[in-house]
Amino acid sequence: MNPGSFCQLHNHTEYSLLDGGSRIADLADRAVELGMPALAITDHGAMYGVIDFYQQCEDRGIKPIIGCEVYLAPGERKERVGKPQDLTHLVLLATGDTGYRNLIKVVTDAHLNGFYYKMRADLELLAAHSEGLIATTACLQGDVAQRILHHDETSAGQFVGQLQEIYGRDSVYLELQDHGIPEQKRVNEAKLRLSGLTGAPVIATNDVHYTRREDAKLHEVLLCIQTDSTMKQENRFRFYSDEFYLKSAEEMLQLFGDHPEALTNTMEIAQRCNLQLELGKLNFPHIEVPEGQTPEQYLQALCEEALPRYYPGERLDEARARMLYELDVIAKTGYTGYFLIVGDFVRVARGRGIMVGPGRGSATGSIVSYLLGITELDPLKYNLIFERMLNPERASPPDIDLDFPDDRREDIIAYVKEKYGEDHVAQVITFSKMGPRAAVRDVGRAMEVPLEKVNRIAALIPSGPKATIQQGLDSSADLNEMLSSDGELAQVIEYAQGLEGLVRHCSIHAAAVVIADRPITDVVPLCGAGGRGAVTTQYEMHDVESCGLVKMDFLGLKTLNIITNCLEFIVTNGGPQFGVHDIPLDDPKTYELLCRGDTAAVFQLESEGMQNLLRQMQPGHFAHVIALVALYRPGPMQHADEFCRGRHGAEVVYLDPRLKPILEETYGVILYQEQVMKIASELAGFSMPQAEIIMRAMAKKQGDKMEKMKPLFLQGCVANGVAPQTAEEVFKRMETFSDYGFNKSHSAAYALVAYWTAYLKANYPAEFLAAHLSTVMDNSDEVGKYIMECRRMGLQVRPPSVNYSHTDFAVAEGAVVFGLAAIKGFGKASADAIVAERNEAGPFSGLFDFCRRMPSRVVNKSALKQLIQAGAFDEFGDRNALLHVHESAHAAGQKHQEDRSVGQNSLFDALSADDDGLQVEELPVVPPMSDDEKLAMEKEFLGLYVSDHPLLRAAEKLEQCCSCMLEQLHQFPDKETIITGGMVSETKPYLTSNGNQMMFVTLEGLNTTVEMTLFPRVYEQYKDTFAKGDIILVEAQVERRMRVVGDGEQKADVKLLAKRIRPLQGARALSPKRREEAEQARRRQIEIEAAEERRKYIPPVYIEVAIGALRPGDLRRLRATLTDSPGPSPVILEFRENGSTRRVQLGKRYKVTCDAQLAAGARAISGVTAVWT
């Protein structure tokens, strides 16, 4: 049979979530291999993958047919009745634009109005949006098949008739399928009879859920992950056979040779389906401009009005020239509306008291953005480049990310809906894919492999957005050894590699919002991906932009909450009222704080490594802060020493004098992408748009573009008087930069927020830390960390109080006060109600007054007790006395409220006739609660000690007796013996396999905890010398264990192995010699880690290979040369042939030491033409 006379019309991709196992590209590739001229996408109940599918098919020259297998409700779609298994299936295919729009309407309505377990349509919905659609009767779960299986062929025929009334007699087809399932034979025979009775043609389809037959077992594993079952369960959900793959025309002919029309009819449908999507054209919503003005004139008028305010001095002419140039580019590229829309959002947000961040990314380089108030940094002052944002020679839209406080983001989205219409605005879906570790764990669970075994191999696989299982196999000898000796684990890895990268589930994108010039459902389908009533597109953010929707990124940034609350605290506590725009960028106290590395809680500058870099650099102006943000990353950290040497006066040598004004601010280091652009412009004579293209090609490692641009760069340099050798060296440095270069505009925006927070901490520490604590209330470790920072800065920290506390942390009389909502188990609503009552009727005069005024439904008896135990009533008496009367106070308060509700007076009313109303506050005389009991309650209900800390009383003694505090342990090398101390907060006895007793002890410091192991001998010797709550000294060995976090980054977990234990009381001070030895060990470790940080990025070795010059055996000799020079540098082979270039990075087993021996050995091979780094 001619392959071109058949196509598959019933195909599920990975976007039939955890059911379809075919990647779209693989499916399209296979269709090309099989010679199919067309291919359909019919995912279950959604259109998530439609745009990707359309583009992949178009790229391969096959016709994309867009469809969906919808679910039909047993009754009306809006009735929430029935079970998932009651739903039947129907395939809809779009013949053209009208059908596509109607398919969008059906799928959207079925999600938003018919969702119950799954999206559900009904005949009413189908009839309302039928034009341009073809219906096919789907699989055994189709409505027609289900009626046949229930021995009701008559009603099956009637249903076909209903479909024909909806879609037309020529647009309903009966699907014949054969996967070896016995019931299909009976259904197919009945459908053939129905075809004769109704005139509905038959088509042959395969219910494709994976691409090739050999993927069947992998698909079984995928179904186990979806259904939370295992491969060993007999009754698990599974497909009947291994026949659910993309079959060829020949395979389908073998199944349906008796009915060849069923195959040729698929091409009849394909010929009718001629959808042409218009992608890539941006459609702006209606923009209001003053009468008589065009959008371009209005945008210029706004900028002209702002220009003298932003540039009142001598730079006005320069600023106007830059503004006019940008406006011209914006108009020519068609993005005038984009700037007006964003400018409107920002203006409205500020007008409503919502803080707006300084702008992220390349938008900071635009003077138009600056004049509109979208960004905060002067692009002329900080040498930021507009073409980084919008390049007239590169067709890609500008991208302006807007930051708002995360509790006000929804307010901005509400405004957008209000302005443009609810049906013109939607949030955007995002898809989570199976990461390598998650895939290993999912497969291990499905195969019932013991968790500890799975975790062992998962820990050896890198994580992060670009990580793969193959990277783990290439880099870990331990992993390969485990797999070679354990077939079960090898099978786990094999299946996991087949599944990694597949879509796992969907959610709402954290930032993206789209706006349309018409109802969204005229353009893209919608769904409720995030729950909670939120409506999102079914297409991800790149696809919605392809469809012409304007995408905005509204990000919720907690740091802006901190700044907003801090500024409010300052005013509330009698300080000046000011905004972030008023913060001077040359404040001495701020730079003193930065130079000390005193940056706990400071945005972007908080990590220990960053604090070390701050102390090394000693920043003196804002440009240094911008550089800090760009430097502190794995790549550029190798240049941190060079930067700091230049900062402190070391001579900087430039390859060409014209590089000095470009690289002077970074002391000769190429740090920013904008510097690459300026080098290309100044040395090679490139225009800024051309320079942006070469910079982007380098940053994205686009070898073909770089190959084309390099001769132009070198020619331009020579024409401008640069020596050829110097030009080559500059280009190579620019290429090396591509591995780590950072967008200066992005760095500057982050640096500005970092500086704002540093300023607030330096000048208003109580207000700043209270605001910061409010954002981490749900994490007791973080709260403890910043409470200690308060104490370190000399700030008083008070327990919660019903009269001084707010819901979150606050400041009162210069002290940081615990928030009521920070009390464990005490709800935010109750805290809000207490603060509201206090604001309305004044402070509470005591426990009984509180009970009288706070309804029991808001603060019940249990919650009242929690408040007392947490210290919230300490100002009214001893906690023990308050606890003795809290039940009677609560009961009396409840009685008072009940009496008042029926119009009766109570004892409270009689007693409150006196002015002070305090007679009822007499408390019983009971033994006062001890300090230790108070602290224990604080620890229980606040998660930490607040009014005091047992270790504070012993702090001086601990300092005298310890070689290091618990908080410093991570600064000591592995196996180092130290003397430290802390409080025993937890003990866990453990019986070894030999029957010996050992113990795990949790030692608590002022703001950290460390686990300590007592092996049997040590336990037996010291078990009677300590108990829970004791403060002890420990001589112990440091145990550092590295684990992989994030994108392959390693982090040390530190534990202790106890050697000797003794009580702190009576211990002698440590000798000066022992203290100095410990300090030296600590410094050595810090230096080792700093050097390691600098070594994390190792530039690759590039080896250029001319394919035409290779001789037999050359690649084998090159491999031997590489393996003879093992080292840390990755190798990238650059293959050149017929003017084209292809780069291949070799695996980790071929890492080398880049030295003269390697270079000479490689160059001796005939096909190798160059070696460089």
Encode pLDDT of 135-193 as tens digits: 999 999 999 999 999 999 999 999 999 999 999 999 999 999 999 999 999 999 999 99
Of the CA atoms within 13 Å of residue 479, those in its CB half-sphere come to 19
- Whether 905 has a pLDDT exceeding 70, the answer reads no
CB 54, CB 70: distance < 8 Å: no
User: What pLDDT is stored for residue 1052 in this prediction?
Assistant: 65
According to DSSP, residue 352 is labeled: T
Query: At residue 738, does pLDDT exceed 70?
Result: no
Residues 6+ apart with CB under 8 A from 352: 411, 415
Residue 217 is encoded by which pair of tokens? 């077992």
Binning pLDDT at 50, 70 and 90, where does residue 918 land? Answer: very low
pLDDT (0 to 100) of residue 925: 87
pLDDT tens digits, 646-678: 999 999 999 999 999 999 999 999 999 899 999
One-letter amino acid of 191: K
Least confident of 248-262, 724-738, 1071-1085: 1071-1085
Q: What are phi and psi of 537, to 5 degrees?
A: -70, 155
The pLDDT of residue 1047 is above 70: no
Are 889 and 897 spatial neighbours (Cβ–Cβ below 8 Å)? no
**pLDDT band at 481; cut points 50, 70, 90:** confident
For 950-1089, the fitting CATH number among 2.40.50.140, 2.40.160.40, 1.20.1280.260, 3.30.450.90 is 2.40.50.140
Sign of the Cα pseudo-torsion (676, 682, 685, 689, in order): positive
Q: How far apart are CA 295 and CA 335, in angstroms?
A: 10
Q: What is the pLDDT of residue 48?
A: 96
Residue 945 DSSP SS3: coil
Q: Please state, for a pLDDT cut of 90, what percent of the chain lies above it.
A: 60
Closest CA to 316 of 376, 271, 380, 364: 380
Q: Give pLDDT, residue 1094.
A: 54
How far lies 805's CA from each of 607, 676, 795, in Å? 30, 53, 16
Q: Are the beta carbons of 607 and 614 closer than 8 angstroms?
A: no
When pLDDT is cut at 50, 70 and 90, the band that residue 380 belongs to is very high
- How far apart CA 1169 and CA 1152 sit, in angstroms, is 18
| Buried b / exposed e along 796-834 (16+ C-beta atoms within 10 A) | ebbbbbbbbbbbbbbbbeeebbbbbbbbeebeeebbebb
**Residue 94 pairs with which residues in a beta bridge?**
133
Token pair belonging to 886? 């809290």
pLDDT of residue 1093: 57
Burial of 1083 (0-12, 13-18, 19+ CB in 10 A): exposed
- Band the pLDDT of 576: cuts 50, 70, 90: very high
What's the mean pLDDT in 89-110? 97
Measure Cα distances from 168 to 126, 270, 521 in Å.
12, 17, 24
pLDDT at residue 912 greater than cutoff 70: no
Contact residues for 522 (Cβ-Cβ < 8 A; gap 6+): 101, 104, 516
pLDDT tens, residue by residue, 930-985: 888 888 888 888 888 887 778 888 888 888 899 888 888 888 888 889 999 999 98
Q: Is the pLDDT of residue 285 over 70?
A: yes
Question: Rounded CA gap, 358 and 590, in Å?
Answer: 19
Of the chain, the percentage scoring pLDDT greater than 70 comes to: 94
Report in angstroms the alpha-carbon separations of 711 from 724, 733, 776, 796, 900.
11, 16, 54, 65, 90
Q: Which two tokens stand for residue 392?
A: 């007239």
Domain with CATH 2.40.50.140 in the chain: 950-1089
Of 771, 820, 766, 772, the residue nearest 793 (C-alpha)? 766
Average pLDDT over residues 775-803: 89
User: What's the whole-number mean pLDDT along residues 687-700?
Assistant: 82
Q: How many alpha carbons lie under 13 Å from residue 261 in its C-beta half-sphere? A: 7
What is the rounded CA–CA span in Å between residue 22 and residue 13?
A: 5
Both structure tokens of 41: 């996408």
Q: Which fold has domain 796-942?
A: DNA polymerase; domain 1 (1.10.150)
Q: What is the pTM of this model?
A: 0.80
Whether pLDDT at 282 is above 90: no
- pLDDT score recorded for residue 904: 58
Residue 443, SS3 per DSSP = helix
Segment 1092-1147, tens digit of pLDDT: 655 555 667 878 888 877 887 788 888 888 887 887 788 888 787 766 667 677 87
Contacts of 394 (CB under 8 A, 6+ apart): 689, 692, 693, 696
Q: How far is CA 310 from CA 367, 813, 1017, in A?
A: 10, 39, 74
Average pLDDT value for residue range 371-393? 90
Q: Which H/E stretch holds residue 860? A: none
**CATH 1.10.150, the chain: domain bounds:** 796-942
Question: Which residue has better confidence, 974 or 618?
Answer: 618
Average pLDDT, the chain: 89
- CA-CA distance, 596 to 1079, in Å (whole number)? 19
Measured CA to CA, the distance from residue 774 to residue 766 in angstroms comes to 12
Question: Which CATH architecture describes the domain 3-211+246-272?
Answer: Alpha-Beta Barrel (3.20)
Q: Is the pLDDT of residue 909 over 70?
A: no
Strand order in the sheet with 810-812: 797-798, 815-817, 810-812
At residue 518, the 3 state secondary structure works out as coil
C-alpha 461/C-alpha 545 separation (Å) is: 34
Strands (E), 165-261: 172-176, 202-204
Give me 96's structure tokens: 């053209």
Question: How many C-beta atoms lie closer than 10 Å to residue 973's C-beta?
Answer: 14
Give me the mean pLDDT over the 266-280 stretch.
95
- Cα-based distances in Å from 964 to 955, 960, 968, 970: 12, 10, 6, 10
> Which pLDDT score is estimated for 215?
93
Q: Are 210 and 244 in contact (CB under 8 A)?
A: yes
Q: What b-and-e string marks burial along 450-466, b requiring 16 or more CB atoms within 10 Å of the CB?
A: eeeebeebbbbbbbbee
**Which distant-in-sequence residues (6+ apart) come within 8 Å of 143 by Cβ?**
72, 88, 89, 90, 137, 156, 159
* pLDDT band at residue 1163 under the 50/70/90 scheme: confident
Q: Please check the confidence at residue 281 and state whether its pLDDT lies above 90.
A: no
Q: Can you say whether the dihedral through the CA atoms of 908, 910, 911, 914 is positive or negative?
A: positive
Task: Tell me whether residue 1089 is exposed, middle or buried, using C-beta atoms within 10 angstroms of its C-beta: 0 to 12, 13 to 18, 19 or more.
Answer: middle
pLDDT tops 60 at residue 432: yes
Closest CA to 225 of 443, 464, 5, 457: 443
pLDDT (0 to 100) of residue 1046: 40
* CA–CA separation, 819 and 801 (whole Å): 8
Q: Please report how many Cα atoms fall inside a 13 Å half-sphere around the Cα of residue 270, on the Cβ side.
A: 22
Helix (H, G, I), strand (E, B) or coil at 11: strand
Residues 628/619, Cβ–Cβ less than 8 Å: yes
pLDDT of residue 915: 41
- The DSSP annotation for 230-248 comes to -TT-TTS---SSS--B---
Between the two ends of the chain, the Cα-to-Cα distance in Å is 56
d(CA 113, CA 761): 50
Q: 672 forms bridges with which residues in the sheet?
A: 742
- For 855, phi and psi rounded to 5 degrees? -60, 150
Query: If DSSP codes are grouped into helix, strand and coil, which group holds residue 511?
Result: strand
